[in-house]
Structure 1
Amino acid sequence: MAYSAYSGHKLPASGFTARFVEAAATRFAAIGDWYRLVRTRRAIEALGPEQLKDIGYPSAEAKPSMEVDRGLMDKLMTMR
């Protein structure tokens, strides 16, 4: 009897083959997810600033920043 890696059936406790198939299917799914993530990142890197703006992707300038006075920063650094 063959077991599907994504079925709701319980695997027998001693079913080495079934557990191996399920583990392999899980790893293949993880590899597929990783490949899709890499492909998406490469596609985003290939886009220009105007295209990124069109799709609503945050630009490098949109990252949050904070200005701190030099005196305050020196005081905080000496308190470490």
Structure 2
Amino acid sequence: MSNPKITTENYNMEQILLPLSIHEETVVPQKRNITPTFIPYDNKQTTVIFDIQDLIPSHHVARVIDQMIGYILFRAL
């Protein structure tokens, strides 16, 4: 944009360069030498599945909350 009434002979529309210099560097990631860690296999391993219901006492508040949520979900469907 230039206005002939206010344009002077030193008027310049180019961007003024600041004295700051920007250096762009490309960083090449280095390969990491990581050796895989394996857990030794034991064919005598067993998997134990615990039933949480057995761990909660019959008079615990968690059983009441479980029944309430089950009732709400059953009614919602």
**Structure with greater proportional helix content:** 1
Q: Which has the higher contact order (CA 8 A, sep 6+)?
A: 1
Same fold (TM over 0.5): no
Q: TM-score, normalised by structure 1?
A: 0.28
Q: TM-score, normalised by structure 2?
A: 0.28
Answer with 1 or 2: which has the greater Rg.
Answer: 2
